[in-house]
Amino acid sequence: MISIHVQILLIILFWNSDCQIIPKIEECGLSCSQGIHCKSKPSSGIFNSFCHDAPASLSSMVLKSMKISTVMKCVQGSPCSLHLNIKGTLSLDDCRNSDVGKYISACSAGKFDYNVDRARKVISVNVSDFLRDQDYYIRLCHKWFTCEDVGAFAVIEGKESLKSVSLKYSQLLPCLCIEGWLAIPDARRIQLCPFENDTKVLWDNIVYNPVTQTLAWEPACPVLVTVNLCRLMKSNDHCEDIENSFKNSPEKQVKYSRVDTHPRLCMKFTTKQGSWVKCPFAHGEFPAWKMRTAAVAEQIQVFFTSQMKAQFSVLVCNRTQLASCESVGMHHSVSVGDSVSITMSQEMCGSAICIQGWRTDVDYSVPLQICDIHCDFRGQTYSDGNPAKAMIHRMKSVHSLH
């Protein structure tokens, strides 16, 4: 009988000592971090709800961060009952989650409506859907890795009934954006870049240095573009690509060293939206060279004129296509002021025969051609593909090309 009492006493002592480890609560419920509202939903059939697959929207890190422990709910006058205490940490982008963001003031970023006055170079911006009685900042910026300031930002005071400002700009660029945010710390910023597809203006920033003979283009905005040099064809305004001149634009300059300043040498820019051609030497600001031919008997004399020192190469070629000409003779080197005589054989006669010349003292030059060379040196002659009346004087005709 004594041993039985001892066993019961030991069980009671063990139960009491174990209960001291389990925390005690008076009521059950939900609690969330400050600023987050919790909402419970009633559940039914709890015994049939175990071991379900987690929804795809629930991150595995959420489950791993959960901590489960036991607690005793003890209400005075009633027996204690065992409950589960579950704690978890859930990390969200406050503002991208609509259910969370609507409770956070910093996520009320607002909406833009804008109008462009191109004559005055002013963008008027109206702002809506942001917290009342709260100041709001608006600015223009150039979007690179971050959005860089373009002038000072404007403030829309919360007490103002008119929620609009006017911002001056210097140039409409694809990376010119409107940015706005509430005047509170760590407020969410929204951006609107309405000129993203207007890339045509980017191709104007071409600079030539006559001292170094360097042709350079610097993008005013980040853009994925392929740049190359090309030869403008006068007959159809097509710009034929120059070999070994293709470059992919980085965020900095695209440079070509030792470039010929001929009016037909151009730059071509190609993006997903299309191609644009710019000819920086077409307006005559830089010295250009000319190639001329004089035909006497069965020889053609070729000479070049230029305001600068230059070296040239000349050959007779067979024009197989509009932009290609296959050599049918030897190359001849010519300097400015000198000339070279080319003997025309009967086999070299024909409407597809051309005299081709180009600069050899630079890395990038356009080849020019004088075609329709006739062995009898009579009739009409052609310069750059355009018919012209020949000046026939003592069986001598003169061709020029520039």
- Residue that is written with structure tokens 């409950």 in the block: 83
d(CA 351, CA 320): 11
Range list of β-strands (E), 239-380: 239-241, 247-248, 254-256, 265-271, 274-278, 290-296, 299-305, 311-319, 325-327, 332-335, 339-343, 350-359, 368-373
The 8-class DSSP code of residue 259 comes to B
Cβ-based neighbours of 226, under 8 Å, separated by 6 or more: 246, 247, 248, 249, 269, 270, 271
One-letter amino acid for residue 371 of the chain: C
pLDDT of 245: 94
Q: Assess if CATH 3.40.50 describes domain 200-278.
A: no
Angle among Cα 300, 305, 309 to the nearest 5 degrees reads: 125
In the prediction, which pLDDT does 375 show? 60
Comparing CA positions, the residue from 134, 136, 87 lying closest to residue 111 is 136
Q: Please state whether beta strands 226-232 and 176-182 pair in parallel, antiparallel, or not at all (unpaired).
A: unpaired
pLDDT score for 339: 81
> Can you give the pLDDT of all 402 residues of the chain as single tens digits?
333 333 333 333 334 444 457 888 877 777 777 656 677 766 555 555 566 776 666 666 666 677 888 888 888 777 888 888 888 776 666 766 666 666 666 666 778 889 999 999 999 999 887 767 788 899 999 998 888 888 778 998 877 767 889 999 998 999 999 999 888 888 888 899 999 888 888 998 899 999 999 999 998 888 889 999 999 987 777 899 999 999 987 667 899 999 999 999 999 999 888 899 999 999 878 888 888 888 776 778 888 888 888 999 998 888 776 667 777 777 788 888 778 888 777 666 666 788 889 999 999 999 888 887 666 544 434 344 333 333 223 223 344 455
DSSP for 342-367, written as a single string:
EE--GGG-EEEEEEEEEESSSSB---
Domain at 108-192: CATH code? 2.60.40.2150
CA distance 291 to 314: 10
Residue 394: per-residue pLDDT: 28
What's the pLDDT at 185? 83
The domain segmentation of the chain, as residue ranges, is: 108-192, 200-278, 290-401
**In this predicted structure, what is the pLDDT of residue 257?**
95
- Sequential DSSP letters for 96-144: T-HHHHTT-GGG---EEEEEEETTTTEEEEEEESS-TT--EEEEEEEES
CA pseudo-torsion sign 332, 335, 341, 342? positive
Q: What is the pLDDT of residue 348?
A: 67
Residue 395 is predicted with a pLDDT of 28
Residue 235 to residues 73, 232, 281, 291, Cα–Cα distance (Å) = 94, 9, 18, 18
Identify residue 372 by its one-letter amino acid code: D
Please report the pLDDT score of residue 106 as a whole number.
63
CA 47 to chain centre: 57
Q: Give this prediction's pTM.
A: 0.63
What CATH class has 290-401?
Answer: mainly beta
- pLDDT in the model for residue 127: 87
